[in-house]
Structure 1
C-alpha cells in the first residue's frame, strides 16, 4: 500500500533522464553513514535533498558543511539519520523547510510513477468534498465519471450528492478512512437538496476500484456554434504526456472546424507535465520556437552550476509534439479559462505562460497557487537520485521509497512567478452545489458565462445567482499520489 505524505498541492517534476555528472553534483566531499546502521533510506533522502532541494540553503540540516567527511562526521551523520526510525518522519521533521507546503514522500515509487502517467486504482468517480456550514459534516459531489470505469456502469452522474459511506455520515474526522482507506469497495449513501440543505434520500450506489485504470485527460471537446461564433470547448482534466497526441488531435478538430474562440475548462485539472503545458499553450497561441514560454529557477547551488556553464534555462513554445507531429495551433489572441481551487500547477503554468502574449480571461474561482515544481527521486545514486523508467533495474532493490521535493520555480516571459496565493479570476463565479449542470451544456453556468462574454449576448433565461456556493476542502484527485502535479521530461544538461 502506498503510504505518502503531502501537506497540500504538489507540482511535480518527473525526470526521464539526466546528463549531470557526479563530479558536478556534489560540491563537497560526501559523508557516508555506518553501513550497519540500517539508515539507507534516510541516507538517500539527505543526499538527494542536499543537492536538489529548492530551500537547501535555508535548512540547517542540509548545509554542505553539516557533516564533514571525517570519522567524527560519519558518526554524527549516522546518529542524525537514525534520529527518526520512520523515513517519512525523518523527511518531514528533519529535511523539509517550514514554508514548504508541497514536498512529499512515498514508500512505493512504482505506484507514484504510475500515478504520474494517469494510472491508478480507481472506481472512476471523480468527486469533491465540501464542508456543510456550521457543522463538522461533509458532503460529496460528483464532478465527472471516467469512461470505461466501474462508476461508468452505475447510475451515478455529475452533480449527484452523497452524505455517507456504508451507512456512516461523512465528517471531517472520518472521510479519509471511509473514502480513501484500504477497502476497494464502498457504498455511497446518496442525498438530495431540499430547501438548500442536503438531505439523505435513501438511495445507495456501490462502487469498486479497479487496478490500473488510466484516464484520458481530454474528457470532452466540442464546437459550439452560436451568434455567428464557432467556439471550441475543451474539458482538460490533467497534463498527462501519454495523451499529447490526443490533445493535438482535439485542436486539429477545432482548427478544421474553423474555431474562432476557445473556452478551456481546467476546473478539475490538478496539473501534470510541464512539456504538455508548453504544447497546449502552443496549440492555443502559436508555434514560434523563439518565443519564451517559461524560465526555470533552481536553488542557489544548481543555479550557479547552470549559469557558470551558460546553460539556457528558457523553455520555448513548440512546433511539434514529442512524437514529431506538427502542432495544430489556433493562433488566438484571446482565451477564456474556467478555473476552481482545484486548478493547479500546470494549469496555472498555462495561464501564467500565456499572459505575456495574449488576453487570458479567467472565469470561476481563484486557483490553488502552486508555482514550484518538484522531482521524483529514488535510490539510484549513479543517476543522481533522479527517477528514470529506463533505469528501474539500477534502483536499489531493497529501497522502494521515493521523495518528491520541490526543485524550483517557473517564471513566464515577463519574469513573473509570484502567485502562491492563487491566480485571481477576472470574472468570479463559484460553482453551485445545487446547480452544477452538465459539462458541455450551454446552460452549465460557467460555460454559459464564457459564451456570454464571447458573444456579448445576455440570455434572459440565464441566472448566475449561486444558491449554494462551494468551498471544496479536498477532492478525489488530491488524495492520490499524483495529487496536484506538474512534471517535466528533462533537466538542463550539464556536460
Structure 2
C-alpha cells in the first residue's frame, strides 16, 4: 500500500496517528483524446470532498460503471457542457449552494487568499435605486498607498456611472469588475433623498498585485472612565496574522477593558486567523473547544473526534498570545459581514457575551478549501507542491466542504446573525470611520458607558446594499479552512 504524507489544509493543528487513514477515489484520467482533463479533475474532487455530494445525483458514487480511461459513459458526461465552467455550475453544484466557485488559474485564487489582487484601492457598496434597473455606488473606504489614495475621492462619495455609462443591473459587472485596468467614475450627490449626477469625474487605475492589510484602524480612547479599544478589521487574511497580533498587543498594553471590533465590511477569510483572534480576545486555554466540523458522510466517518475539533490557541506562530481576557465583546456588523466574521461571533458566544450592533449578517456558515489537480495530494492545494499540479490543468476549485458548529453545537444561521442593537448605515450620515461620532461606533460606546445622552440614532436614509467590491475579489465572502494537521492517506 502506497502512502503519501500530505499537509491537509482543512482541519486543526493536530497530529494524526498512522491508524488514521483516509480512503480516496481512483485518480486515473478518462480518455485523454476527449480533452476533458479539467472536467475529470472537477468531478473527482467534488465527488470526494463536496459537502452536498450525496444530494447531487451526478456526483453519486455509482453514477458511472467506472471513471477511468476508456469509459465512454463517463467521458461523454464530462463532454456534456460547452466549457469546464458550465460543467461545474450545471452538473456539480447543489441548488442550495450559494458560495462554491472556481478560477481558471489557481494562482489568482491563492493570491487573493493572501490579500493580493488587482485593485485601485476604492472599496464600495452598490445599491439599487428604488425599483429601477439602475444602481449607484457609495465609497466605504480608501486603502492607503493605492491609486485611489492619491485622488480626490473619500468615504461617502457617490457615483452613478462609469465612463459615461449609467450603472444598471445588466452592465455593472463588466464596467466595474471587468478586465479594464482604467475607468472613470461619474460622480453624484445626495440631495433631498435623491441621487443626483453632478458632472464631476474621478479616474482610477487598478494596480496589479495590490496587497491590502486588513488591519485598517486600531486605536484606543477613554470615555466616561471606560478604556475602550477599537479595531476595524476588514478581512481574515492569514498573511497578516502578525499585524493583527501587534494591533491587539498594543491595545492590551494601553490598558483597555472594552473592545469594539468593526466587521461591517469584512466578508470573511481564514478559519485559523479567526481562531487566533478569538484566542486574543477571550482566552488561550487550548482545552477550550473553538469549533466542531461537519463534512459529508464520506469524509465524516473516516475522521476521529480529535480531527473534527478545533481548539483555542496560545501562540501566533512562535509568539505567545497575551489574551485580553474579556467577558464581553462589542461587534459592529452589516449585511456585508460574512463567513469568518460570523464564525468569530458564533464561536465566542458559548464563552462570553457578544453584543452585536448594526445590521443582520450575510448568513454564511459553510467552510471551503482550495482544490487543484494534484492527485497524489488528494486534490488539496499545498504551496510546497505547486510543481506537482497537473500542468495541463491549472484550474482551482473552492467548494464548500462542511459547516462549523460552535461548542454548543449551533451552526444554524443561514439567514444571518441578528444584532442585539439594530442600526443600519445612513447615507445621510455615514460619518468618519474610527471617529467617536460615527453612528455605529457611537452606538457601541453608548452601550459600554451606559450614557445615552441626547444623541438621536434615527436612520433617515438606510443603506440596503445589493453587493460590494469585496464580493468580486476571488475570495469574495468565503470562509477558508486553512488550519493544518498531518494526515496519512491510503
TM-score interval, normalised by the smaller of the two chains: over 0.9
What is the CA–CA distance in structure 2 between the aligned matches of 1:299 and 1:73, rounded to whole Å? 29
Q: Where does 1:309-458 land on structure 2 (aligned, <5 Å)?
A: 311-321=306-316, 323-458=317-452
Worse overlay, 31-40 or 472-481: 31-40
Match of 2:180 in 1: 183
Alignment pair present for 1:465 and 2:458: yes
CA displacement 1:340-399 (0-9 Å, x = unmatched)? 010001000000000000000000000000000111111111111111111111111121
Q: 1:238 aligns with which of 230, 235, 238?
A: 235
With the length of structure 1 as denominator, give the TM-score of the two structures.
Answer: 0.93
Does residue 295 in structure 1 map to residue 307 in structure 2?
no
Which residue of structure 2 aligns with residue 478 of structure 1?
471
Q: Distance in 1 between matches of 2:481 and 2:170?
A: 36
Q: After alignment, is 54-63 or 229-238 more displaced? A: 54-63
**Aligned counterparts of 2:380 and 2:45: Cα–Cα separation in 1:** 9
Does 2:88 align with 1:91?
yes
Query: Distance in 1 between the 2:104 and 2:467 partners?
Result: 22
- The alignment yields a C-alpha RMSD, in angstroms, of 2.2
How many residues matched? 479
Are the counterparts in 1 of residues 333 and 359 from structure 2 also a CA contact under 8 Å?
yes
- Residues 1:273 and 2:270 are matched in the alignment: yes
Q: Where does structure 2 lack aligned partners over 5 or more consecutive residues?
A: 1-8
- Partners in 2 of 1:44 and 1:135 — Cα distance? 42
Distance in 1, Cα, partners of 2:38 & 2:423: 46
Is the 8 Å Cα contact of residues 25 and 48 (structure 2) preserved in structure 1?
no
Match of 2:72 among 67, 71, 75: 75
Please list the CA deviations of residues 456-491 of structure 1 after superposition, one character each: whole Å capped at 9, or x if unmatched.
11232x221111111101100101111012223245
Query: For the Cα contact (< 8 Å) 1:31–1:68, is it kept in 2?
Result: no
CA offset digits 1:154-201 (Å, max 9, x no partner): 111111111111112111111111111121111111111111111112
Task: Assess, with a 3 A threshold, how the Cα gap between structure 1 residues 20 and 471 changes in structure 2: closer, same or farther.
Answer: farther
After the TM superposition, which of the residue ranges 399-408 and 347-356 deviates more from structure 2? 399-408
Change (3 A) 1:431 1:483: same
Change (3 A) 1:226 1:33: same
Q: Residue 61 of structure 1 corresponds to which residue in structure 2?
A: 58
What residue in structure 1 maps to residue 6 of structure 2? none
For 1:79 and 1:193, the matched residues in 2 are separated by 56
Cross-structure match for 1:7 = none
Aligned counterparts of 2:113 and 2:223: Cα–Cα separation in 1: 38
Other structure's SS at 2:71 match: helix
CA shift at 1:494, angstroms? 3.6
- CA distance in 2 between counterparts of 1:45 and 1:245 reads 35
* CA apart distance, 1:312: 3.3
SS of the counterpart of 1:418?
coil
Q: What is the distance in 1 between the residues matched to 2:171 and 2:367? A: 31
Go from structure 1 to structure 2 and tell me whether the alpha carbon gap of 1:178 and 1:39 turns closer, same or farther (over 3 Å shift). Answer: same
- Contact (CA 8 Å) 1:15, 1:386: kept in 2 or not? no
SS in 1 for 2:249: helix
CA separation in 2, counterparts of 1:491 and 1:84?
36
